[in-house]
Amino acid sequence: MSPIQWALSGTIAALLTLWLASMPFAGVAFDVFALRPPSLQGTGTLALGLMSVAMVLATRPVVFEPWLGGLDKMYRLHKWLGISAGVMAISHWLWVEAPKWAVALGWLVRPPRERGALPDNPILQQLHGLRGAAESVGEWAFYALIVLIALALLKQFPYRRFFQTHRLLPVVYLVLVFHAVVLTQDSSWTQAVGIVMALLMAAGSIAAGMVLFGTVGRSRQAVGVVETIGTHAGLDVLEVAVQLKSRWAGHEPGQFAFVRFDASEGAHPFTITSPWSGDGRMSFLIKGLGDYTKALPGLLHPGDLLRVEGPYGQFKFEGRKPRQIWVGGGIGITPFIARLQHLAKLPDGKTIDLFHTTGDVDEAAFARLRAAARAAHVRLHLMVDAVDGRLSADRLRSLVPDWRAADIWFCGPAAFGSTLRHDLVATGLNGRDFHQELFNMR
């Protein structure tokens, strides 16, 4: 399994184990109303626990990058944590509502309600008094959560609107924390599940505050100005050169940054296509893929201010083998351009083949790529789809016979990378030697 799969399954397994360990199932009758309270606790624990971890990851904690393989992988985990939390929240809601529907339809008979004695602890007494309010706001927060998760997963939903609506999730999360704190069984707080959930909710609440007050990544931000703007018309790519005006810690080839040209649009992730030389200059190649990036050539001008946050990512060409194979699909060539420039100055002694596959043609850009590859002593395979056909695993193996001795670095369309990885692993490549940038933050 990948680090993302291990992290997701491990988080779910840990929360499930903590919940099961806290439940006195012995003697519980096997009927809906007897199973309802522990099931509500379990689904609620899983939903809010997963949301808490997702909220922490939303603050872009770089400490987890080496474990998960980079911020791109961290965001993929964040996405699946959110989906899993949504599934658990729906299950929780069904355990609340479905028995009521069954009673209304005459399928079940509700047993008499037993009123428990108020606890001696004054804090728990106050929480008991808030249960009605917690149930009401929790229900509306659940509806908001499902809508916001659905919008985040809808690719047709514009990025600007995604950015704006996604900022409502911390508010929804804090409401659900209130719901959980009030309605959690009193006995749970002194058990392992209660202690762990209290820590998770505290961490998640701090993270939610950071998102709401705009402090995420602030210590890693630098202000800059647009120096020059160039276009590669044949590729529908904009080249932006930036001069930073405040401190930047530096970056390695292959890393990316969040760039904010417009505060109302929010920050977009772009690979840095120039190596760091300490002079505050960096450049980005931006493909016109969406409404905003297509409009950028008409919006940006030299002298415009921008904010850069980073660097992020573990796509840093650190491999254990003496040979490397790079595959850049379309705009996925960007991290390799930075690495070529770096190797031209500081060779690492590795034998490298670079495959660049593209459906677009720009001879000026191709000439620059060929020159950069020659300067770095990298063997370039430039493939235009309409002329040379698509790159396949068979073709790669035929062009690089000793491919098993190489680390493979891929950046490009996710489906293309997954197919290539599957075929190569099936014929002998160690999966750890295939490094893929998951450059999709939604």
pLDDT digits (tens, 9 = 90+) for 350-385: 999 999 999 988 899 999 999 999 999 999 999 999
Average model confidence (pLDDT) for the chain? 92
Alpha-helical (H) ranges within 213-316 are 291-299
Rounded Cα–Cα distance for residues 41 and 96 (Å): 11
Q: Is 280 helix (H, G, I), strand (E, B) or coil?
A: coil
Per-position b or e across 313-326, b if 16+ CB within 10 A of its CB: bbbbbebeeebbbb
Rounded Cα–Cα distance for residues 315 and 319 (Å): 10
The pTM for the full model equals: 0.90
Residue 89 confidence (pLDDT): 98
Distance of CA 228 to the CA centre of its chain: 31
94: CB partners within 8 A, 6+ apart: none
Q: What percent of the chain has pLDDT over 90?
A: 74
State the pLDDT confidence band at 271, using cuts at 50, 70 and 90: very high
Q: Which of 283, 278, 420 is nearest to 345 (CA)?
A: 278
Locate CATH 1.20.120 in the chain: 3-111+119-212
Q: Is residue 269's pLDDT more than 80?
A: yes
CATH code given to domain 323-436: 3.40.50.80
Residue type at position 284: F
State the pLDDT confidence band at 113, using cuts at 50, 70 and 90: confident
Q: Is residue 111's pLDDT more than 90?
A: no
pLDDT digits (tens, 9 = 90+) for 296-348: 998 999 999 999 999 999 999 998 899 999 999 999 999 999 999 999 999 99
Residue 114 confidence (pLDDT): 66
Residue 358 confidence (pLDDT): 93
Is the Cβ–Cβ distance between 336 and 380 less than 8 Å? no
Locate CATH 2.40.30.10 in the chain: 221-312
Locate CATH 3.40.50.80 in the chain: 323-436
Rounded Cα–Cα distance for residues 116 and 69 (Å): 50
Angle between helices 159-166 and 291-299 (to 10 degrees): 110
* CATH fold label, 3-111+119-212: Four Helix Bundle (Hemerythrin (Met), subunit A) (1.20.120)
Q: Is residue 35's pLDDT more than 90?
A: no
Long-range (24+ apart) CB contacts under 8 A made by 344-351 are: 344/372, 344/375, 344/376, 345/275, 347/376, 347/377, 349/322, 350/319, 350/322, 350/323, 350/324, 351/322, 351/323, 351/324, 351/379
State the pLDDT confidence band at 65, using cuts at 50, 70 and 90: very high
Q: For 221-312, which CATH superfamily applies?
A: Translation factors (2.40.30.10)
Residue 416 confidence (pLDDT): 94
Per-position b or e across 422-439, b if 16+ CB within 10 A of its CB: eebeeeebeeebbbbbbb
**What is the token pair recorded at 45?**
């624990």
Q: What percent of the chain has pLDDT over 70?
A: 97
More confident residue, 293 or 392: 392
pLDDT digits (tens, 9 = 90+) for 206-265: 999 999 999 999 999 999 999 999 988 788 899 999 999 999 999 999 999 999 998 778
Q: Is residue 170's pLDDT more than 80?
A: yes
Residue 441 confidence (pLDDT): 62
